[in-house]
Every structure is written in C-alpha cells, then in structure tokens.
Chains A and B, each alone.
Chain A
Amino acid sequence: MRQAATTSVGLGMPNIPLALVPGHVGTQSKEELRRNILEVTTRRVIENLTVAPAADVEQPEPGARDIICKGGFKAVNRFFYENELSDGLPIVPPTREEVESFLRFADRDPDEVLGVILPDSRAATIWSIAVNGAMAGCRPEYMPILVALIEAMCDPEYGVEHSGNTPGADTLIILNGPIIKQLGFNYSQGALRDGFMPNTSIGRFWRLYLRNVAGFLPYKNDKATFGNTWRVVLAENEDALKKIGWEPNSVEMGFAAGDNTVTIARYTGGGSLSSVSGSTPGEMLPYLADTVQKYHMWQLTFTVSHGNGSLRPLIVVSPIIAETIAKAGWSKSDVKRFLFEHARLPAWQFERQLRDWNIRGVWNLEEDVRMGRIPKAFHESDDPNRMVPIVWEPEDFMIAVSGDPLRNNAYVFAHNGFLGYPVGRKIQLPRDWERLLGSQS
C-alpha cells in the first residue's frame, strides 16, 4: 500500500485511490479471501469509483544547484541520513569543489538529461551523477564509468522501474576493458569482496543513485522482503581470457574486444560452487549445470510466457576452471550449449514450482507451447518426466571469468529476468583522459 502511494506521486497521480485486500492473498484460505473481499475491499472499490478523491498539493523540492545543508562533517552526514538521502554509512559531502572535480571527467553539459527514471520520474543528469558519485566515495576519474552506468540504467530494456520488487534483487555491474587496470580494479582473489576502492565505491554509487534519483527507498518504493547490501563491481580477468582465447563479456554484449564497457543485470541471489574438480569439460561441467539449474527455482517464471524468455543466468568461473575447459578446445559457446542441454529438470517439477508453489495459477507449459508463446523444447511430448531447459536458447547463459586464479571455484547468479535484463554500455572517456588521469595521481 505504501509502495502504491509513493509510486503514484512519481507517476503524477498522488491522489489515485487505492483499495486494500487485508493481509496477503497468498496465505489466505478461500473463505478468508472471500470474507476480506466482500467485507472490506468491495466497499473501498465502490467508494473509489464513485467519490472524487481530495486534490493533492505538490510538495516543493530544492533545485538541483540548491545548497541544502551547511555545517561540519558530522552535521552534514546527520542531515543526509535523517532526510533519507544516504544509506547509513558516512558520505563524502558533495560540495561544489567535489562535484566540479567529477564534472571535469565528463566532457558533457552538467544539465544534460540521460533519461527520466521511474518510479520517481526524475531527470538523470550528469550533475546528479557527479553529486552521488562524490557522496559514494568514488574518485573523480571514475566519472566516465558512472555516466555509462546511468546510461544503461535509463535503457528501457533493463527495466529499472522494477528495482523495488519484493524478492529484493540487486544489480551486478560487470566491467571490461583496459580501464580495469588503469583505475586499479580488483579482478582476482576476492573479486566480489569489498576492500578495493573502485569496485566498492562504484557499487555503492549505483545503490545511492537508485535511492536518490530513481526513488527506491525502503518502506516506500523499495519493497525488498530481505534485500542485501549493494554488490561491488565484478571486473573480468581479461589476461586469463586472452590466454585461453575466450572473448570477454563485453564482446558477448556486442562490443569490440578492448572496449571499456559496463554490463548491468539484476540477480536475486545465487551462490558459490566449491571445488569444481576434473581435468576435462566432461568432468567439470555436469556439476556446473546441476547447480545452475538448482539455483533457478521460482525464477523460471521469467522463462515462460509471463517472462517472455528473459531469464539470463550468469556463471562466473575462476581462471583455472576456464583454462581447464579451454584446454580441451571448448569455447564459451560450447559451454553454453552444454549448460542448455544439461541444466534441465523434469517438466512436472518445472510446472509444480510455478503453478502449485508460487504465483502462476492460470498457466501450464503445454498451453504456452500450443499458443506459440515459448519454444517447442518445453513440450515435445506429454510425458511429465521429459527434461525441459531452464532458458530458451544456449546464448541465454552468460559466462564471466574472474576470482582467485588458482582456486577451482565458481559462482552462479540467479537472474531476475525482465526485472533487470542485461544491458551494456561503452564507457566514453573524456578527450584529454590521459592528462586528466595524470593530474589526479
């Protein structure tokens, strides 16, 4: 209810009337649901359709260049925290000097609007990127990456408006290109651990921007049941990739090898696979395929008609796993084909997960195939034990290489489908990048 009320402000209808079903329909018996609808909800629906709601007055807000607080470090931080403008950690005060140091790395008009971001419908400006980048503890030279990230956030294919859904997924940023080494990103041991300024502060920037500009605040537009802290940037180990002849993620996303790029996608969770043992793909990959399938449970809803085949699982393997697989002559595409053919489950389990356990009460695989909504591979017979894939085609799997080079572990990210579809952007460096970079050191 609070989310609906908050979202309605951003959509320009702050007084749109709402009717509530008490409790959660997912836990009510038929009798309870009947009682709640007939005794509570119906009355509100009638009122909402027949009585004009009171007009709502727009609350005035500061301008983009307004100074909203003056004072010492502690006072500024207290002000930001009490006004829901920070995440609970200390921020770097976004003063004119700080913001302008970021703008020098942009080569763009500070008032340029990259897009309008839902649900708050605020303008994503270069200026606001600089302010939030400073707050997050980024260095000014990260600015080209921050701009590329917000360009990606504004891409409708990503679906930023869904970032407050109840499963509480969070974005993973994948970084590619020479900029990884140039700015000192960690791409080796502890690749997803905090402790490395560019990886950590840019991850924090993403979450601050979602809060301050998109408008995703807990108890308001962010309805994460649990949620988690932001993810640090995952930088690929391009040395390892080059050594084995595998293309980096940036090439999978349509860019040229050697381009500096960001890729964003939202993941509901996932986990680590320990000790992927074997000396051949045939020995290693069944473990990976089995785990990828097991980490995608309710997320299968993004594979069927509701999700329009938007499920894109991500598997991050350590360099030694990638090297062992590549040694047998296998490419990334070969690995994806293997996963497509082996990360499968019986059709009855697939249907039970969505129809009986989750939320898709009016659906089955046979109907989706008959109506041409999903590929035929999902209903090649009526045998409930037939094995069905978890994605539409092999290329739906994404593979990245990072982490401890000599540890045979992997990490599976369970994807959130069209509620955070993978989107990539090339990072545009300012004309005098090298000189500016030199002036920072």
Chain B
Amino acid sequence: MSNVSDDGYYEVFWPRAPRQMRTKQLAPRLASLEGRAVAQLWDFLFRGDQVFELLEEGLKARFPGVRFVSWREFGSTHGGEERAVLAALPKRFKELGVDAVISGMAC
C-alpha cells in the first residue's frame, strides 16, 4: 500500500489519445459462394500462392460454381507500392465483378 506521507500524492492524466476511427459496418455476407466471384489478395509472402491454390481446391469441392479472381490481378498488398495497390482496389473489384474477398497472409 502506498503511504501518502512518504510516497507523495499524484493525480495523473491518461497517456493515450482519442481514437479517430469509429466502428464501421461490415459488408453483408453471401448466402452461398455458388456462382460468386471471390478475389484473392496477397502480400507475396509466406507461401500465399500455395495457400490460395489449396483454398481454391477446398472451396470448389463445396461450391463447384465458385469463380476466383487471382492475386495476380492486384499486385502485392504489402511493399513499396502498397498504398497505391490498396487505393486501387475498390475500382478493380467493381471492374472484375468481385462479390467477396479473401485477404492473406500474415507477417
């Protein structure tokens, strides 16, 4: 226990600062992936090329009509060009008729 007599008394401020980002609503989920276009975003690290190939296999087994838009269409989401790549995504998604996105991998 602190002792006011030899430990002082302090009223101290919060060292953080207000968050500037409010919570956003997520996009509605799809009822099914059947007949839908799923885009792949990759940071070109950690075997994502192999991971997406396997995910395609797994998703097609469940939804034979699912279509994939490869990570090759978008460029790396992490790297010297990342800001430009990310800024271009909404337009590219519309152009390519994308219904859903899987973004990977970690760092």
A4 within 8 A of B: yes
Complex Cα–Cα for A65 and B59 (A):
51
Chain A residues 316-360 with CB under 8 Å of chain B are 359-360
Task: Say whether B49 contacts A361, CB under 8 Å.
Answer: yes
Query: Which residues of the partner chain B approach A76 to less than 8 Å between Cβ atoms?
Result: 10, 12
Closest CB-CB distance, A417 to chain B, in whole Å? 8
Contact at B15–A306, with CB atoms within 8 Å? Answer: no
Write the nearest CB–CB distance from A365 to chain B, whole angstroms: 16
A70 and B54 in contact, given A12-B24, A128-B16, A306-B79 (Cβ under 8 angstroms): no
Q: Mark A136-158, 1 if CB is under 8 A from B, else 0.
A: 00000000000000000000100
Our pick among A21, A61, A131 for the contact of B13 (Cβ within 8 Å) is A131
Pairwise interchain contact A64-B18, C-beta atoms closer than 8 A = yes
Q: A165 — nearest CB in chain B belongs to which residue?
A: B107
Beyond A12-B24, A359-B45, is A38–B100 a contact (Cβ under 8 Å)? no
Assess whether A51 is interfacial by the CB under 8 Å rule.
yes
B47 at the interface (CB under 8 A from A): yes
Q: How far is the CB of A76 from chain B (nearest CB, A)?
A: 5
**Complex contact B17–A213 (CB within 8 A):** yes
Q: Nearest CB to that of A47 among chain B residues?
A: B29
B15 touches A121 (CB 8 A): no
Q: Is A73 an interface residue (CB 8 A)?
A: yes
The residues in A between 35 and 80 inclusive whose CB is less than 8 angstroms from any CB of B are 37-38, 41-42, 45-46, 49-53, 56, 58, 61-76, 80
Complex Cα spacing A53 to B26, Å: 9
Interface residues of B, dominant DSSP? loop
Q: A12-B23, A49-B38, A362-B49 are in contact. Are A67 and B18 (CB under 8 A)?
A: no
CA gap between A124 and B15 in the complex, in Å: 11
| Nearest-Cβ distance from residue A322 to partner chain B, whole angstroms | 32
Taking a contact as CB atoms under 8 Å apart, the answer to whether A50 and B31 are in contact is: yes
Question: Which of A68, A156, A307 has most B Cβ within 10 Å?
Answer: A68
CB of A10 within 8 A of chain B? yes
User: Is A93 interfacial (CB 8 A cutoff)?
Assistant: yes
- Chain A, residues 296-321, CB within 8 Å of chain B (1/0): the string is 00000000011111100000000000
**Chain A residues within 8 Å of chain B by Cβ, number:** 84
**In the assembled complex, A13 has its CB within 8 A of some CB on chain B:** yes
A394 at the interface (CB under 8 A from B): no
Give chain B residues whose Cβ lies under 8 Å from the Cβ of A41: 51, 55, 58
Task: State in angstroms the CA–CA spacing of A10 and B7 once bound together.
Answer: 37
Interface-forming stretch among A94-102, A178-186, A239-247, A433-441? A94-102
Q: Is the CB of B3 within 8 A of A72?
A: yes
Q: Mark A15-44, 1 if CB is under 8 A from B, else 0.
A: 110010100011000100110011001100
Chain B residues with Cβ under 8 A from A397's Cβ? none
A68-B13 CB under 8 A given contacts A15-B26, A37-B55, A156-B83: yes
A22 → chain B, closest Cβ, in Å? Answer: 12
Residues of A contacting B22 in the complex (Cβ-Cβ under 8 angstroms): 12, 58
Whether A72 contacts B10 in the complex (CB less than 8 A), given A50-B30, A306-B79, A361-B49, comes out as yes
Hey, what's the 0/1 contact readout for B27-56 against A, CB within 8 Å counting as 1? 011111100001000001111011100110
Question: Does any Cβ of B come within 8 Å of A223's Cβ?
Answer: yes
Which residues of chain A are near B44, meaning CB under 8 Å?
Answer: 306, 360, 362-363
Is A208 among interface residues, defined by CB-CB distance under 8 A?
yes
B79-A122 in contact (CB<8A):
no
> Which residues of chain B are near A276, meaning CB under 8 Å?
none
* Interface: A273 (CB within 8 A): no
- Cβ B23 vs Cβ A46 within 8 A: no
- A268 within 8 Å of B by Cβ? no
CB pair A26 B10 closer than 8 Å: no
Give B25 Cβ to nearest chain A Cβ, in Å. 8
> Given A52-B28, A65-B13, A68-B14, A37–B54 Cβ distance below 8 Å?
yes
* Residue B69 lies at the interface, judged by CB distance under 8 Å to chain A: no
Known: A73-B7, A128-B15. A122 touches B20 (CB 8 A): yes
Q: Which residues of B does A touch, CB under 8 Å?
A: 1-4, 7-24, 26, 28-33, 38, 44-47, 49-51, 54-55, 57-59, 62, 76, 79-81, 83, 100, 102, 105-107
Chain A residues within CB distance 8 Å of chain B: 3-4, 10-16, 19, 21, 25-26, 30, 33-34, 37-38, 41-42, 45-46, 49-53, 56, 58, 61-76, 80, 85, 93-96, 99, 116, 120-125, 127-128, 131-132, 135, 156, 165-166, 208, 212-213, 223, 305-310, 359-363, 417-418
Interface CB pairs A-B, < 8 A, 26: A11-B21, A12-B21, A13-B23, A25-B50, A33-B54, A38-B54, A45-B59, A50-B31, A52-B28, A62-B16, A69-B11, A69-B12, A72-B3, A93-B10, A94-B13, A95-B12, A123-B17, A127-B17, A131-B15, A212-B15, A213-B15, A306-B44, A307-B79, A360-B44, A360-B45, A363-B44
What are the 10 tightest A-B residue pairs by CB atom distance, in nearest-first order? A308-B80, A72-B2, A72-B7, A42-B58, A121-B21, A93-B10, A37-B54, A75-B2, A12-B21, A128-B17
